[in-house]
A = this chain, B = another copy of it.
């Protein structure tokens, strides 16, 4: 039933270093075997500066000389750590059923050519022993520092040296960002529920990362096919492409055929945590008829996906029956796929949302694999008109209730957020979420700050994302130029990722996150000193920066030119600025004093003039 590997379209994942960057790895101290990845940009020797260290999410694909073998998957770097904890056991995996790949039980067409092949090197499946909770939250609350936690502490410090004093320049609205991240700090944040480490025990390929207000702001990219377009090969390529440019997490939002098989290929080859929305696959299993969804089908889907290694589930347990009518007068109703599906189910059955009523059972499944909740914002506003309305905040209140229940079960939680929100309403979202959800991490989709620009919604939302990241949001879910218009392609994925890296970094800067500004400063020094190649290499997108420069000045000689085509050699302010600096440095103290005195005289005159509006012309 599965497509033979030989018929597989050639997968051409981008496996090469980012231009100008070199992958480097730092070892652990408590856990000497861990190797934490970064990329390093070495500068021109005239800079007389050390290389710049940049956080890297691209995985082994950007290691020098790495040859991907997609059919084998990535190294299972966490496997031993997980097994060594002694609280998990190998189990008989749930059998994969035809309907997991969208092949219907009762007839229906099965086209051999459309099937994605099964991943050929399926690993054995782990699960917690004896109903234990094997989540990072559970370990943290027991005072245990896991290898994942040390890995993360090293990763977040960006190889900075711990200093006696770090000068802060930012506004963090009461966050608790440390000068220097220790493994103990990581443990404490996770124990408080203020941060999560999405890392399913069946996804040992993950390079551990953390989502929390007191850490670097993270971003998520969405991939996944739909009934209308895209294939497995394309989805794996998109995942590698998205993390290359900076996606910290990736969600597989597939809604078409072959969901199970596609997901396995993605997880086995992803160094980034993978999220899903299980209701999509559940809906496929009931042939797209929302009313036919049942708790049993959904439960089975949770287990299926948890055993594959999905790291977080978006679950719309806050779309309660009584809230649905609150959307009746909205301009854009319910824009969340999962939210609209559950709303339909509730009304059709005149019953409470089964995700809500079975919430504790969901927790029991997730705690056995360490799958984190991403409590879905099914009632988020999909237009400026609907922002901050009763439906949205009623759901948020419920998500707050559910957070406590999940924590009681030892399950990690983050909270999803809007949506479409005009700038003046953004802070209220953050304040309310902090208050209602016990400081669980916030994970927003934008928000879009206006509805008028389809084709440019990466920008309308990049504005809102930067702001809400500044206010305390921990992860920003990207939006591509294709939002509202169709499924994004590779270029769209890259544009969305770069835009959201901008938003996340602008937020880190505004929060005064220690060390964040080092990157901007290195770029600006390179710019001032006309180290063009360094400028390109330090850019979020070195290829585009260089290509844009070369459009008008392509020759190698231009790379040391003290101008570009914006102003040309006579008018380059950077060039003149350097001359000014030399002049200024060469002035004598007397010359400086003269200037000061002269200034005093002239200032007095103008102040006398200036204090009255109506001054006769001289």
Contact = CB atoms under 8 A, between A and B. Distances in A.
B613 A408 contact: yes
Contacts of A509: 384, 422-424, 449-450
A256 B568 contact: yes
B584 A541 contact: no
Given A327-B580, A408-B615, A548-B481, A453 B541 contact: yes
A568 B502 contact: no
Q: 4 tightest CB-CB pairs across the interface, nearest first?
A: A333-B577, A227-B568, A383-B524, A423-B510
Interface stretch (A8-16, A81-89, A338-346): A338-346
A466 B449 contact: yes
Contacts of A453: 498, 501-502, 539-541
Given A485-B548, A486-B552, A539-B454, A602 B352 contact: yes
Task: Give the most central of A321, A348, A382, A523: most B CB within 10 Å.
Answer: A523
A282 B382 CA distance: 53
A559 interface: no
Contact of A344 (B341, B583, B592): B583
Contacts of A409: 617
Contact of A581 (B333, B462, B549, B614): B333
A452 interface: yes
Nearest to A505: B450
Interface in A341-364: 341, 343-344, 347-348, 350, 352, 356-357, 360, 364
Given A524-B382, A577-B334, A596-B322, A512 B424 contact: yes
Interface string A43-72: 000000000000000000000000000000
Interface string A160-178: 0000000000110000000
B486 A610 contact: no
Interface string A581-601: 101110100011011101100
A598 B470 CA distance: 40
Contacts of A611: 404
Interface in A519-556: 519-521, 523-525, 527-528, 535-536, 538-541, 544-545, 548-549, 551-553
A573 interface: yes
Contacts of A541: 453, 455-456
Contacts of A336: 573
Task: Give the most central of A347, A404, A503, A548: most B CB within 10 Å.
Answer: A548
A566 B610 CA distance: 61
A340 B580 contact: yes
A260 B371 CA distance: 68
Given A502-B459, A565-B228, A566-B482, A454 B535 contact: yes
A226 to B, nearest CB: 4
A328 B423 contact: no
Which of the four size classes fits the interface of chain A? 35 or more
A294 interface: no
B552 A360 contact: no
A404 to B, nearest CB: 4
23 contacts: A170-B422, A226-B568, A228-B565, A229-B565, A328-B585, A331-B521, A332-B577, A333-B574, A334-B576, A335-B577, A344-B583, A383-B520, A384-B520, A408-B615, A424-B512, A450-B520, A453-B498, A456-B499, A463-B467, A463-B502, A463-B503, A482-B548, A486-B552
A569 interface: yes
A581 B423 CA distance: 28
A565 B489 CA distance: 11
A498 B321 CA distance: 41
A571 B228 CA distance: 11
B571 A255 contact: yes
A424 B584 CA distance: 31
B460 A506 contact: yes
A566 to B, nearest CB: 5
A463 B466 contact: yes
Interface string A603-618: 0001101111111011
Given A360-B618, A405-B606, A453-B502, 5 more contacts: A228-B552, A288-B570, A451-B521, A463-B502, A486-B551
Task: Give the most central of A288, A404, A453, A517: most B CB within 10 Å.
Answer: A453
A173 to B, nearest CB: 10
A596 B422 CA distance: 31
A460 B502 contact: yes
